[in-house]
Amino acid sequence: MRTKITYTLEEPLKFKQQLLQWSKQFEEIAWLDSNNYHQEHGEFDALLAVGAFTAIKTDYHQAFAKLQEYQQTTKDWIFGYLSYDLKNDVERLSSKNHDGLDFPDLYFFQPQKLFLLKDDQLEMRYLNMLDDEIEEDFTEISNLSINQIETGQPKTENSESRIQARISKEEYLHKVQKMLAYIQRGDIYEANFCQEFFAEDREIEPFKVFQDLNELSGPPFATFLKLEEHYLLSASPERYLKKSGAKLISQPIKGTARRSQNPEEDIQITKELFSDPKEQSENVMIVDLVRNDLSKIAKKASVNVDELCKVYSFKQVHQMISTVSAELDDGIPPVEALRATFPMGSMTGAPKISAMKIIEELEETKRGLYSGAVGYFTPNGDFDFNVVIRSILYNSVKKYVSFSVGGAITAGSKPEKEYEECLLKAAAMRQALKNSSSSPFPN
C-alpha cells in the first residue's frame, strides 16, 4: 500500500526545518517532534504526515466506535486527535460551556505522504499511487533554503487583538474555594481545574508561533497540527498512552516547579519538588487512577508502576512524572484501550466521573482539544498519544486564539499558589503570542 525509501541525512536538524517549511502547502499537516529529548519509550525523533487520502471527522456521538471502524478498515498510518469532550461518549456527561474554537470532537486522517526521522535516517512512505513523487520531493525539501522560512506575516488591523482571561483572578480564587469545598465534603479527592486565555478577531502566523513556542519549551511531545482551518500549536511534555505490541505505557504528570538560571538554586528547586508532600500526593493519586483505568483492559496482575514521582527538567519548568505499564489483554482492539482510559487521569481527577462533573460546573470554557490527545496509529494497531497541554489553539476562519492552563486541586491546595502555578505554565504561550504581535500582553 505504501512505497518506502530510506535516505541518510547529512544535517538532520536542518532537514527538520526544511521539512516543516515544505509542509505548508498542505491542508492537513501533523508534525510530531520529540526535540531529540532523551526518553526511554521514544520511537522517532520526528514524524510528518501530510495530505489526507481519507479522513474521519465527527462529534462525540459513538466517536470511539467510528474511530475503531476507521482504524480497522484503513489498516494504515492515521494521525489525528481526541478532544476532551469525547468523555460524553464514554460516560453520561455533557459539555455546555462556551466554545469559541469550534473544533470537531474527533478528527483523524490517512496521509498521502509520511516522513519518519530517527537519528540521521529518513524514511519516506508514500501511498503507491504517489511513489513517483518521492525523489522529486526529497530533492525539493533538501534544496529549500532555511532563509526562505517565513518568520511572520504583515500585521493587519485585527492582528493585535489583546489576549484576555475568560475569568478574573478573583473569580479563579473563588472557584478553587468551591472545589475545595467539594473535596472537604468527600465528593472528590482531586480535580484538575483550568482557565482559558483568548483573543477574538486575532490573526497569527501559526508556523511562526509554533516555532517560537517550541524554541522556548523544547518538549518531547511537541505538535503542529493543521486540519483545514483548525490549528494546534503544542509544547506538550506529557505522554498520555502508548501501545507497542501488547505493552501499554502511560506517563502522567503531576507536580510543577519553576526553573532557575542559577544552577545551585535550580538543583534545590528540583529537590524541593521531589520532596513536596502535596506534589507527591497529587501524583500518587493520579497514578492510582491510571492503574485502575489500565486494569480494565490489562492482563491480570500486569499493571505496574515502573517509575514513581521522578522529576524531569524542561526548559521552562521541572515536572514530576510517573510511568505506569500494563499488558493489553487478548482480543481487545487498540481503540478500546484509548476509550477505556479516556480522558486521561492527569487532566480529570479522582474519582474520575465526579471530578469531570465538577469540572464542567466550575469551568467557564468547553475544553475541546485542550486536555485531549494528539497522536497516531501504525498499520498494525500500535499507537502513541500525547496530552494536549501547554498548547495554543487557533481557528483561522473565526480568527479566535485560545490557550488554557490549570492544575490539580487537592485538600492541601492554596488558591493563590494554584493561580501562580497557572501563570508559570502559561509563560511560554504568553511569550510566543507576544512575539507574534507588537501589542502588549496583559499581566
Catalytic residue ranges: 238, 254
Q: How far apart, in whole angstroms, are the C-alpha atoms of residue 442 and residue 434?
A: 10
Grid cell digits, residue 72: 480497522
Strands 317-327 and 247-251: antiparallel
- Cell 492515521 maps to which residue? 78
Q: Is 245 left (phi over 0), alpha (psi -120 to 50) or beta?
A: left
Give the closest residue to 365 by CA, choosing from 336, 345, 338, 393.
393
3 state SS for the chain? CEEEEEEECCCHHHHHHHHHHHHHHCCEEEEEECCCCCCCCCCCCEEEEEEEEEEEEECCCCHHHHHHHHHHHHCCCEEEEECHHHHHHHCCCCCCCECCCCCCCEEEEEEEEEEEEECCEEEEEEEHHHHHHHHHHHHHHHCCCHHHCCCCCCCCCCCCCCCEECCCHHHHHHHHHHHHHHHHHCCCCEEEEEEEEEECCCCCCHHHHHHHHHHHHCCCEEEEEEECCEEEEEEECCEEEEEECCEEEEECEEEEEECCCCHHHHHHHHHHHHHCHHHHHHHHHHHHHHHHHHHCCECCCCCEEEEEEEEEECCCEEEEEEEEEEEECCCCCHHHHHHHHCCCHHHCEECHHHHHHHHHHHCCECCCCCCCEEEEECCCCCEEEECCCCEEEEECCCCEEEEEEEEEECCCCCHHHHHHHHHHHHHHHHHHHHHCCCCCCCC
Strands 304-313 and 230-236: unpaired
Amino acid at 180: L
**3-class DSSP state of 443:** coil
